[in-house]
Structure 1
Amino acid sequence: MGLIRNAQGIRGEVVVELLTTAPDAIFASGARVLMGDSTGKLKDGAPALTVESSRPFKGGLMVKFEGTPDRNAAELMRGRYLLVPFGELAPPADDEIYLHDLPGMRVELDTGEHVGEVTSFYELPQGLTLDVATAKGSVLVPYRPEVIESTDSTARIVVVKSDLGIFE
């Protein structure tokens, strides 16, 4: 949900780069988040942090967590990811999907032809890209409106426009 970029000031506040489109609920006063490592992995016994306060700051948030009294304590959190358990996430809107739901989805062309399965995804500077395992090998597919016809999270199907020739 966020990446702690650095400590700010002397009161234990940190600058958080947002990795969510719903920061108001996740970083509301009293909300709890888990602190992952610098790769985004959650280790056993990962500390739960309670948000004391947050406010907008340079395109992200300035966040103060309970139990982080000063800059020294805040510096120890630099470069760590802030996570929320899947079960506590609000359901995505009808036209949205959580990235962790993409692997394992069936991939079809808009003609109905099954072409493969999403094995993983990459967040590249050009945008989200799906890695699709096909009978001929792996194919990278840009997850963009001009390429993806639709995504059905209930049926677990990603439909790709056939006229682009991506799977030929």
Structure 2
Amino acid sequence: MTNPDRVCVGAIAGAFGVQGEVRLKSFCAEPAAIADYGPLFTEDGSRSFKVKLTRPLSGGLGARLSGVATKEEADALKGTNLYADRARLPRLPDDEFYHADLIGLEVRDPGGAVIGRVLAVHNHGAGDILEIHVPVRKGAVLLPFTFANVPTVDLSAGILIADLPEGLD
């Protein structure tokens, strides 16, 4: 289970070269900032890594991780998500949120009726999309995370107000 005091900031996409370098996919707004938030931890916290970026790569960054010296060790880490201590991350403006903070929020309509719960936040390059589990529907609803669709996010109350477009409600 993920530690709530840590936020996923990247993932290891595999080995790069033969000397233990990894291909790192950064989930940070400024991809190279991932190295500033270390040490980075595995999801279960059993391993931590100091990160030294080596070069930009197509679709990611080349990096050396402490304790990883061979291609085989780097290959074994493929698919591993990397987490930073929340306290090391920058404070966000009031209208920005870490994806980890949105997942699990109760979703209500503008009248206060419960719609469902945020299952995930996706971003395929055109902006964030909320995946909302709606119990009365078969399957999830995908909602662009825009101010028009989501006018209110109240993290302290654990709710998000969503104005679903016609046809999704």
Query: Which residue in 2 is equivalent to 1:8?
Result: 16
User: What residue identity is the alignment partner of 1:3?
Assistant: A
Q: Max radius of gyration: which structure?
A: 1
User: What residue identity is the alignment partner of 2:144?
Assistant: Y
More strand by share: 1
Whole-angstrom distance in 1 between the partners of 2:33 and 2:123: 27
Following TM superposition, the consecutive aligned residue runs of length 4 or more in structure 1 with deviations greater than 6 angstroms are none
User: What residue identity is the alignment partner of 1:105?
Assistant: L
Query: Which residue in 2 is equivalent to 1:24?
Result: 32
SS in 2 for 1:90: coil
Whole-angstrom distance in 1 between the partners of 2:167 and 2:73: 53
Contact 1:118 1:132 in 2 (8 A): yes
Whole-angstrom distance in 2 between the partners of 1:85 and 1:17: 18
Whole-angstrom distance in 1 between the partners of 2:143 and 2:51: 36
Query: Which residue in 1 is equivalent to 2:151?
Result: 149
Aligned residues: 157
Whole-angstrom distance in 2 between the partners of 1:130 and 1:80: 23
- TM-score, normalised on structure 2? 0.71
Contact 1:25 1:31 in 2 (8 A): no
1:22-49 deviations in Å (ceiling 9; x for gaps): 4333214x831013xxxxxx23x52111
Contact 2:20 2:70 in 1 (8 A): yes
User: What residue identity is the alignment partner of 1:70?
Assistant: T
CA apart distance, 1:14:
0.7
Q: Percent identity?
A: 23
SS in 1 for 2:32: helix
Query: Which residue in 1 is equivalent to 2:6?
Result: none
**Structure 2 segments unaligned to the other structure (5+ residues):** 1-8
- TM-score, normalised on structure 1? 0.71
CA apart distance, 1:3:
1.8
Contact 1:54 1:63 in 2 (8 A): yes
Query: Which residue in 2 is equivalent to 1:140?
Result: 141
Please state if 1:113 is matched with 2:120.
no
